[in-house]
Amino acid sequence: MTRVWLPSSLEELWPLWAENPGAALYAGGTDLLVRRRAGLVRPEALICLERVAELGRIEPDGPEVFLGAAASFSRLLSSPLVTEKYPVLAAALQRIGSPQVRHMGTLGGNLVTASPAGDSLPPLYTLDAVVELVAVGATRRVPIAEFIQGPGQVDLRPGELVSGVRLPATDGNLQHFEKVGSRAALAISIASLAVAGRLSDQGEVLQIKLAWGSVGPTVVCAPAAEAALQGKKLTPETLAAAGELAQQAASPIDDLRASREYRLALVKNLLLRLAP
Amino acid sequence: MLQNHSMKTPEIFQARYGARAARVGSSLPRADALAKVTGREPYACDFYHPDMLWLGVKRAGVPHARLRGIDVAAARELSGVAAVLTHDDVQGSNRQGVVRKDQPVLVDDKVRHAGDAVALVLAMDPASLARALELIRLDLDPLPGVFDLDQALAPGAPLVHGDNPQGNLMLAGQVTIGQGLDALDDCAVVVQEVFRLPRQEHAYLETEAGWALWDPDGGLTITASTQTPFRDMAEVAEALGLERDQVRIKAPYPGGAFGGKDGVSVQSLLGLAALAAPGVPVKIWLDRQESFIASPKRHPARLAYRLGAGQDGTLQALHAVLHYDTGPYDHLGGVVATLGLEHSGGAYVIPHVHLETYAVYTNNPVGGAFRGFGVPQVNAAMEGMMERLAGRLGMDPAKLRQKNILRPGSLTPVGVTLDCSVGLADCLEQAAGHRLWTRRRPWKAAAGPHQRRGVGLALALHGMGYGPVVPDVANAKIELSDQGRLVVYCGVVDMGQGNASTYLQVAGHLLNQDLAHLELVLPDTARTLPSGSSSASRTTFTYGRALLAAAGELKVRLLKRAADMLMVPVEEMTLVPGAVRHLTSGRELSLKDLAGFMAGEERVAVHSFRAPVSPQRPSDDPGLTLHGLPHRIFSFGAQLCGVEVDRLTGRVRVLSLVTFCDVGNVINRQVLEQQVQGGAAQGLGYALWERMRSREGRIIENDLSTYIIPTAGDLPDMELVVVPGFEPEGPFGMKGAGELPTDLPAAAVAAAVADACGAAPNRFPITPQVVLELLHQGAARNLA
Ligand SMILES: Cc1cc2nc3c(=O)[nH]c(=O)nc-3n(C[C@H](O)[C@H](O)[C@H](O)COP(=O)(O)OP(=O)(O)OC[C@H]3O[C@@H](n4cnc5c(N)ncnc54)[C@H](O)[C@@H]3O)c2cc1C
């Protein structure tokens, strides 16, 4: 039997965690329990974050928006703060798993699992998200690109947990997300693309951030491709040129879902969708 | 004490539909639907008992090896372990198989695939079971294996069965009609192609499961998720060294089967374990990964075709060479390869053919029965050839087909006169007149940015039953119970296709009873009568005919008995729900009262029916005849498929799927639609997503997160058009419809994708990557 603790606040959580240093944290359990069943992790006990009030908040904080690490994807998707301000994130969350998985899964879990195929990650990169970490008596804020260090590797210190994600205000009029999976739902990304930026009234790129999922060990950004689009209109030609630059930044693998070659083609092709 | 499988129609269902007359032709909800969707139907896997032992299997884990020894000492000593069993504990032949008995219950000499069962553990709880299985040490001497067709057939290849006279060829058969190959030389056009079809997993919801009890006085009772209780009884008895009458098999509704439970899966293992634990129930329930490893699959196939025609599109000659990878055991591979051969020329008249089929032993996962049974493979190929021919001749694909389709009295590609109802021309006419086909140009032009649309057409036919040699027999039994209900003893499994419910409808129709007065006994070798396997699109046809006769006999008897009791002429009596009524006086005798006056035997009627067979012999090869060539009765169908292909990702979305079928007269439209939709979903999975590859005999897509079956989000709305038909041999004019829907989608989707891309696929499933290549080819062709 494994013991499961269900603290309802951080105040309750800290002593529990201190007394059970071998316990694993989990929120929705949609990654942890899969790994546990496969025998990849054998935690002595479990501490569930689902009911920790501070981690479930979804609220504005000045110009920023704070999304609690343990708020489920379904809750995020029912909040206008997410769907209206950050459609690129909403579109990505909507493609995660199935309704059941979205009822359970969380941003905190997606971040800490740090899978190359984590679907919330590319949008968070394009939105310049900052990850907020808490420990007893301390808080840190780390830009997402620094927080995620490699597949399954994150900048999380002992005794720390992710309290949430801060999204800066955005005045962008361009947000776009596309995921290629093996089927319409319940599919791990073969490749994905998130785009956030601003276009002039004439359609010229004033500012753009691009991030690809599943085509490298972590989210792939391509500053050269972004630079190539700066000041240009999004036409098949400009996008194809940017796509070729992005292909150089990507390092996809062959796996049983798709070949490297196909993923490389997608890096470029997904950009072409932006052409009006 | 032990769970009793309820056989009554659930009460809620009774309340809602009980009073509805069970008439043939009415679209009644299935009698089993409510219990299933509310979770109350007791499946074989649902059995629990406080004293029960858990049974688990140690599997080989390597594809080919000689077994030198099994060290079970540590496992035996573990607390919580009741028994550890090996081939040494098997008293019988230790061999099973449907046609050729080439598969051990527990490996005794050689491992032939990674899923072979080598030892069993019986334990008090699942945790002890898992630990004990890990403690068993197999001493295996690895052997080089054969993992693809060419490797298996190469001279000097390692042999899967050293005693097989044809090496790794399990079955080879040929049919030559007319001038055979020579006729290709005289054809104005010849198209050729090699098609590759993947291994497909059934992925039924209920994995292999069951429980057994050995009562030293009463015998062995096995309750299992199976399609074949009577054959299982014989196989288990022989393999374990028991008399048949010592073995009883009960078959609750399987939670899906689709052919995957045609034949012994866990039954012999359960029997062997139960013998080691007298008086204690033992249960097994494979998890998904083990089910994937152990269960038979749809055969991967390589199909080489050459099709020749005249300039006007009249088919002249076909050369088809079929290779099916049957894995290490016959299972039903020979029968599958033979049905493939019979259907390899599709639904067309072709005067000259040379057809070859080969079922090849390998050390890959076992190939076996899967809805469609060898036909989805060849139909994808033959219809693909028709598309290529239409393209070459610049002919409309529907017109090309119209010119060549089978009609009443035509000779099939294996030279057999069609001697059944044939509604293919109607199916094709309806399809060609459907708006998806007639309006396809504007529909395609309406594709959005980056999208290409295509519409495809495919035809199919599917033979019903076992063929000429193996008797396709059903024995129906119907009884007036002392409660005054009519009880149908259903000897053939309903694995989900709805035949059991249809039997009630047939009996109710004949005896003028509503559902409240009908009852069903599910297959049980001790209570119901042998009626063959749930397979080959035969269940309603064969058992239905037997039931018609049995119910007719009982009807006469009931009317006569009631007439005698009321002292009136029998001609003035009629059956009404729950009673027999005297028409002129209005007096009634309730069925319950009537039952009270009748002796037990008098209340029972049985009838045996053997399905008609063809006397024609297209081949003098007795092997092919034994394996089922040719069939007598066929169902026919056409399908239209509209797809949208994304040019950037290669993703294919099926937007519409319309199936046209001639399945004779329809007994229950709802049940038929469910069959067509389910079959089409499996067929679409086969066309676009599903593949279970193996590397050195080990499965790559080994769970449901990597083996991709379609979800509701991937499937289109489906439309069904049934053309009027009546098969004189069928009960109420029906023909089997279970497999036909699975034969069509791979072909229809391929045609639609080809229409969208400008190049036709020859590999399945048609993955997005393949589609991007096809788009390139199509674009290059357009430039040229
Ligand atoms: C069927 C299925 C389909 C899926 N489909 C997708 C998909 O389409 N796209 C996708 O991106 N993912 C998918 N996933 C993976 C998974 O759902 C997501 O990664 C999800 O975001 C994980 O969140 P969780 O709360 O369930 O994580 P958990 O399993 O609870 O936790 C995962 C890891 O994160 C740690 N953790 C969780 N929260 C915190 C925190 N606040 N602070 C510190 N550490 C923490 C845990 O200790 C654990 O190590 C799928 C999973 C399943 C089972």
For chain B, domains (ranges, CATH) are 6-42+473-610 (3.30.365.10), 46-143+210-285 (3.90.1170.50), 301-396+405-467+617-783 (3.30.365.10)
**Residue B19 confidence (pLDDT) above 80:** no
* Averaged pLDDT, B553-557: 98
Lowest mean pLDDT among A190-199, B24-33, B250-259, B339-348: B24-33
Q: Is the pLDDT of residue B397 over 70?
A: yes
pLDDT of residue B303: 99
Q: Which residues pair with B352 in a beta bridge?
A: B317
Mean pLDDT, to the nearest integer, of B495-521? Answer: 96
Per-residue model confidence (pLDDT) at position B16: 62
Question: Residue B6: which pLDDT band, with cuts at 50, 70 and 90?
Answer: very low
Q: Which residue, among B288, B644, B648, would best test binding to A if mutated, counting the most A CBs under 10 Å from its CB?
A: B648
Dihedral sign (CA B730, B29, B604, B543) = positive
Poorest-pLDDT segment among A10-14, B2-6, B249-253, B303-307 = B2-6
* Cβ distance of B701 and A256 shorter than 8 Å: yes
For A29, phi and psi rounded to 5 degrees?
80, 5
Instruction: Kindly state the average pLDDT of the residues B569-593.
Output: 97
What's the mean pLDDT in A250-266? 96
Write out residues with Cβ below 6 Å of ligand 1. A 24-32, 34, 49, 55, 69-70, 96-97, 101, 104-106, 108-110, 112-113, 118-119, 161-162, 186, 188
- At residue B1, the pLDDT reads 36
The answer, for B772 touching chain A at a CB cutoff of 8 Å, is yes
pLDDT at B21: 74
Interface test with B, best of A1, A193, A235, A266 (most B CBs within 10 A): A266
Q: What is the pLDDT of residue B744?
A: 98
Interchain proximity A256–B706, CB inside 8 Å: yes
pLDDT per residue as tens digits for the range A7-61: 999 999 999 999 999 999 999 999 999 999 999 999 999 999 999 999 999 999 9
pLDDT score, position A276? 81
Per-residue H/E/C for B572-640? HEEEECCEEEECCCCCEEEHHHHHHHCCCHHHEEEEEEECCCCCCCCCCCHHHHHCCCCCCCEEEEEEE
Which residue bears the tokens 């009562």? B215
**Pick from B449, B450, B711: CB nearest A183:** B711
Q: Which of B649, B700, B710 sits opposite A266 (nearest CB)?
A: B649
DSSP secondary structure letters along A113-176: HT-TT-TTHHHHHHTT-EEEEEETTEEEEEEHHHHEEETTEE---TT-EEEEEEE-----SEEE
* B179-234 per-position pLDDT tens digit: 999 999 999 999 999 999 999 999 999 999 999 999 989 899 999 999 999 999 99
Where does the pLDDT of residue B14 fall: very low under 50, low under 70, confident under 90, or very high at 90 and above? low
Test site for ligand 1: of A104, A112, A153, most ligand atoms within 8 A of the Cβ:
A112
| Ramachandran angles phi, psi of B340, nearest 5° | -60, -45
Which pair of tokens denotes residue B390?
Answer: 């239409």
Atom in ligand 1 nearest the alpha carbon of residue A96: 8
pLDDT score recorded for residue B7: 41
pLDDT digits (tens, 9 = 90+) for A111-136: 999 999 999 999 999 999 999 999 99
Determine what percent of chain B is predicted with pLDDT higher than 90.
Answer: 96
Residue A166, C-beta contacts closer than 8 angstroms, at least 6 positions apart? A61, A64, A65, A66, A67, A129, A130, A131, A132, A141
What is the average pLDDT value for chain B, to the nearest integer? 96
Does B13 have pLDDT greater than 60?
no
Continuous H helices in B345-423? 375-393, 397-404
The ipTM of this complex is 0.96
The dihedral through the CA atoms of B61, B62, B67, B68 has a sign that is negative
CA of residue A14 to ligand 1 center, whole Å: 22
Q: What is the pLDDT of residues A160-205, one digit of tens each?
A: 999 999 999 998 999 999 999 999 999 999 999 999 999 999 999 9
Distance from C-alpha of B411 to C-alpha of A137, rounded to nearest angstrom: 86
Higher pLDDT, B698 or B10: B698
Question: Residue B416: its pLDDT value, please?
Answer: 97
The sign of the CA dihedral A180, A186, A187, A188 is: positive
Question: What is the C-alpha to C-alpha distance for residues B229 and B223, in angstroms, rounded to an integer?
Answer: 9
Whether A98 and chain B come into contact, CB under 8 Å, resolves to yes
**pTM of the predicted structure, to 2 decimals:** 0.96
Tokens of B340: 């493939």
- CB of B359 within 8 A of CB of B726? no
A30, A32, A110: which to mutate for ligand 1, most atoms within 8 A of CB? A30
Whether the CB of A5 is below 8 Å from some CB of chain B: the reply is: no
Burial B408-426, CB ≥16 within 10 A → b, else e: eebbbbbbbebbbbbbbbb
Using CA atoms of B433, B679, B677, B547 in order, give the dihedral in degrees to the nearest 10. Answer: 100
pLDDT at B170 over 60: yes
**Chain B residues within an 8 Å CB radius of A180:** 649, 651, 768
Instruction: Look at residue B333 and tell me whether its pLDDT is greater than 90.
Output: yes
CA A94, A97, A100, A104 torsion-angle sign: negative
Q: Which atom of ligand 1 is nearest to the CA of A100?
A: 1
Nearest atom in ligand 1 to the alpha carbon of residue B705 is 1
Helix, strand, or coil (residue B534): coil
Quick one: pLDDT at residue A27?
Answer: 98
From the CA of B714, how many Å to the nearest CA of chain A? Answer: 6
Distance from CA of A67 to the nearest CA of B (A): 29
What per-residue confidence (pLDDT) applies to B645? 98
A interface test, pick of B133, B288, B649 with most A CB neighbours within 10 Å: B649
Q: Amino acid identity, residue B592?
A: K
* pLDDT of B589 over the 60 cut: yes
CA B297 distance to own-chain centroid? 11
Residue B700: closest CA among chain A residues belongs to which residue?
Answer: A256
**What is the arithmetic mean of pLDDT over B50-58?**
98
Q: Which of B152, B57, B151, B156 is nearest to B107 (CA)?
A: B57
* Distance of CA A231 from the midpoint of ligand 1 (Å): 38
Which residues of chain A does B649 touch, with a Cβ-Cβ cutoff of 8 Å? 180, 266, 269-270
Chain A, 157 to 216: residues with Cβ < 8 Å from chain B are: 180, 182-188
Q: Do B450 and A98 touch (CB under 8 A)?
A: no
SS3 state at B377? helix
Nearest CA of chain B to the CA of A147: how many Å? 28
pLDDT at B18: 65
CB contact (8 A) between residue B714 and residue A183: yes
Judge: B714–A257 Cβ closer than 8 Å, yes or no. Answer: no
pLDDT at B141 over 90: yes
* A4 CA: distance to closest CA in chain B (Å): 20
Confidence of residue B4 (pLDDT cuts 50, 70, 90): very low
What is the rounded average pLDDT of the residues B97-103? 93
What's the A106 CA to ligand 1 centre distance in angstroms?
A: 6
CA distance B347 to B382: 9
Q: How many CB atoms lie within 10 A of CB A45?
A: 17
CA distance B418 to B634: 8
Which chain B residues contact residue A273 at CB under 8 A?
A: 450, 648
Can you tell me which atom of ligand 1 is nearest the CA of A97?
5
* Cα distance between residue B114 and residue B67, in whole Å: 13
Q: Is A149 on the interface with B (CB under 8 A)?
A: no
pLDDT by residue (tens digit) across B733-778? 999 999 999 999 999 999 999 999 999 999 999 999 999 999 999 9
pLDDT in tens, B406-425: 999 999 999 999 999 999 99
Alpha-carbon distance B546 to B698, whole Å?
Answer: 44
Angstrom distances, CA of residue A216 to CA of A153, B323, B743: 14, 40, 40
Closest CA–CA distance from residue B337 to any residue of chain A (Å):
29
pLDDT at A157: 97
